[in-house]
Amino acid sequence: MKLFSTADHTALVTGSSQGIGLAVATALRETGADVVYHGIQDRPDVVPTGSKYVKVDLTKSHAPELLVSEAINARPELDTLVCNAGSFFDVPFIEMSRERWDKTLQLNVTATYFLAQEFAKRLVAEKRGGSIVITTSTNGFQGEPDSTAYDISKGALVMMVRTLAVSLGSHGIRVNGIAPGMIKTPLTAVWMETRANDLLEHYKKKILLGRIGTPEDCSGAVAFLCSGAAGYITGEIITIDGGLTVQQVGRM
């Protein structure tokens, strides 16, 4: 077995129709894994021919069980779960509604928790080991203006990585995470383009590597965490931010 290969793994990657999820799915395929794709729209052209695609809205309470069930029915050997799906619905704190709060927590936290549970149930029942990777964010460590619900949800995912690693370690299921920083995706591109001359330039001065990240910058870390090379790693979170959170002030 090649150390960094995922050729003996089958992975479900949530939110893999675009952005970081698509980049992760591509990296896993390139390192050998069979990948089950997921999104909320009809099967997009970016999903490779022959790969399973499941359309499920994870804001619905029954969705985690349905998604894992469909993935395992299509690929009974499924042993890897990448919980990447999530979104941002914030407005300023004073204006935040219960509806926006609930939607944020349902998608970013509750769905992730019960996806991991449903996945783990199957593996434990079959006495198989496996791996879970959760996409959190640097927002899980540092607050951002007008981002309270999102920041809180990502902070919850930081602890979810750690507590699930404790709960599942004895079953041979590793749980790790990635914490992307400033990454240009379809979700972030809209506001990035409107703030290209001020806020983005500020961030570029604070990021040690001097640029905004891409989804592909995140994909290698996930492929590593899913591979045999990370076989003795669990409960860890890899920060992928080009050094954004390392220094306080940034270049003047």
Instruction: Please report whether residue 36 resides in a domain.
Output: yes
Buried b or exposed e, range 135-164, using 16+ CB within 10 angstroms: bbbbbbbeeeeebbbbbbbbbbbbebbbeb
- How many domains, in total, are found in the chain? 1
Q: Write the DSSP assignment of 104-138 as a string of letters.
A: HHIIIIIHHHHHHHHHHHHHHHTT--EEEEEE--G
Domain containing residue 85: CATH number: 3.40.50.720
Taking the CB of residue 75, how many other CB atoms lie within 10 A of it?
17
Task: Note whether 99 and 52 are within 8 A (CB).
Answer: no
Instruction: Please report whether residue 67 resides in a domain.
Output: yes
Instruction: Please report whether residue 208 resides in a domain.
Output: no
Task: Taking residues 47-61, report their average pLDDT.
Answer: 96
Report, in angstroms and rounded to the nearest whole number, the Rg of the chain calculated over CA atoms: 18
Q: Is the pLDDT of residue 61 over 80?
A: yes
pLDDT at 93: 97
Instruction: Please report whether residue 172 resides in a domain.
Output: yes
Nearest to 243 by CA among 196, 206, 214, 216: 206
pLDDT at 196: 61
Domain that holds residue 106: 10-183+215-240
Give pTM, 2 decimals.
0.95
Q: Which helix (H) or strand (E) holds 223?
A: helix 215-226
Q: Is the pLDDT of residue 251 over 80?
A: no
- Residue 187: pLDDT band with limits 50, 70, 90: confident
- Token pair 């870390």 is found at 221
Task: Taking residues 61-77, report their average pLDDT.
Answer: 97
Please write the tens of the pLDDT for every residue from 224-238. 999 999 999 999 999
User: Among 37, 53, 113, 150, which one carries the catalytic annotation?
Assistant: 150
37 is catalytic: no
Instruction: Please report whether residue 224 resides in a domain.
Output: yes
| Rounded distance between C-alpha atoms, residue 133 and residue 81, angstroms | 6
Instruction: Please report whether residue 250 resides in a domain.
Output: no
Instruction: Please report whether residue 152 resides in a domain.
Output: yes
- Residue 247: pLDDT band with limits 50, 70, 90: confident
